[in-house]
Amino acid sequence: MMGRPVLVLSQNMKRESGRKVQTGNINAAKTIADVIRTCLGPRAMMKMLLDPMGGIVMTNDGNAILREIQVQHPAAKSMIEISRTQDEEVGDGTTSVIILAGEMLSVAEQFLEQQMHPTVVISAYRQALDDMLSMLKDISTPVDTTDREMMLKIINSAINTKALNRWADMACNIALDAVRTVELEDNGRKEIDIKKYAKVEKIPGGFIEDSCVLKGVMVNKDVTHPRMRRLIKNPRIMLLDCSLEYKKGESQTDIEITREEDFARILQMEEEYIQQICEDIIRLKPDLIFTEKGISDLAQHYLVKANITAIRRIRKTDNNRIARACGARIASRTDELREEDVGTGAGLFEVKKIGDEYFTFITECKDPKACTILLRGASKEILAEVERNLQDAMQVCRNVLLDPSLLPGGGAVEMAVSQRLTERSRALTGVEQWPYRAVAQALEVIPRTLIQNCGASTIRVLTALRAKHTQEGNLAWG
């Protein structure tokens, strides 16, 4: 007697498998690639997007576009995740990686239709990947990172495809100066943390040409008391991670008072505590203190009497950057402050009013390992696009400093590798040679897309490019 079927999955769950799913995945990937295909190269088109909050985003950055797109298909989500990972790891090439991934899946479709097992296709793709990496190492050329002109040319190649290309010289210099500032070498190992120590501050107004790299830190804060100094040369800077207020309980605190004198005593204890922590600070004679927490009115009074300028409630990230810029150490308790905790590396402290807001500048630092990139522009939308372009340029500069080798652009490297893979595929035996050769064909999508975006004849130019790459010494033709 046959038993009833056992239901493992929920009745509301839809399960698909086989050829239908493979086709759906490939079509989803091709759709995502087609969305940003026109954003590749120096003739890239800008996309105007309306975000869920009603704001307008204008960009030709692949990752920025895909980030705003809401998709349901899991394969399409994976494609968007590829772009995000590329942006985090490399900083540039987000459009190229999506177009390449879409084409790789597109050329694999014919083998699935011929009933070739996906494992065979994957195996051939992996072999092609290993061969491509070794080929790229062979055709790469070393870069002298001390040659400023060479570095500027490399960064310029990233800027030229962006909206910022009209101000390419300025942007390249800003990117190189910022990365060089935050570069840290320790025991032969380079550390370049752009995200943490090269902060971009956007202030609407002015011209894009007014943008610059500050050899120090800028924060959107004003002094806590109007009588505090707003201009100090060679300041002694103290950084705190504690509040200059009377300690409060974690939640509501109840105090039972039986005598009137006890209430006066509690107030006196609060004042004595504030006075004590201020004396701990004044003892080291700083000119300027920054704290991540609050400063009470009484503490401000004592600091003004001691001619000390104070700025409160700054971000922890800003505090860390100030520490790197001026050489100070962040203290968590005032009674543990020492002379070596005071930073003396800054040359100038200044508070300026730009537009309706006050900004604090700590500049002219002796050996800053942190910097602020000040961007000016007509509107917030323009500044957001300038920031995206500048981040890509800084990432390119960082990548060259960490791995000083160079490959030709304009689709040249893709054509060179495609040619070599085609030649190597002839030596392969078995069915894996066909997916292997298809990878070589897929690589041609980059030069083909560049030609299409320029409005040139795709067949004529691509045929001429193939002919060039069959000859020796033409690796750089793109």
**Would you please indicate which residues are annotated as catalytic (active-site) residues?**
61, 94-95, 392
Q: What is the chain's Cα-based Rg? A: 30
CA–CA gap between residue 122 and residue 352 (Å, rounded): 59
Q: Which residue has the tokens 């689709």?
A: 411
If we measure between CA atoms, which residue out of 180, 154, 179, 167 comes closest to residue 211?
A: 167
For the chain, the distance separating the N- and C-terminal CA atoms, rounded to the nearest angstrom, is 72
CA–CA gap between residue 152 and residue 172 (Å, rounded): 6
Q: Are 438 and 428 in contact (CB under 8 A)?
A: no
If we measure between CA atoms, which residue out of 407, 450, 397 comes closest to residue 91?
A: 397
Indicate the helix (H) or strand (E) that contains 431: none
By CB neighbour count within 10 A (0-12 exposed, 13-18 middle, 19+ buried), where does 150 fall?
Answer: middle
Classify 293 in phi/psi space as left (phi over 0), alpha (psi -120 to 50) or beta: beta
CA–CA gap between residue 80 and residue 62 (Å, rounded): 9
3-class secondary structure, 338: coil
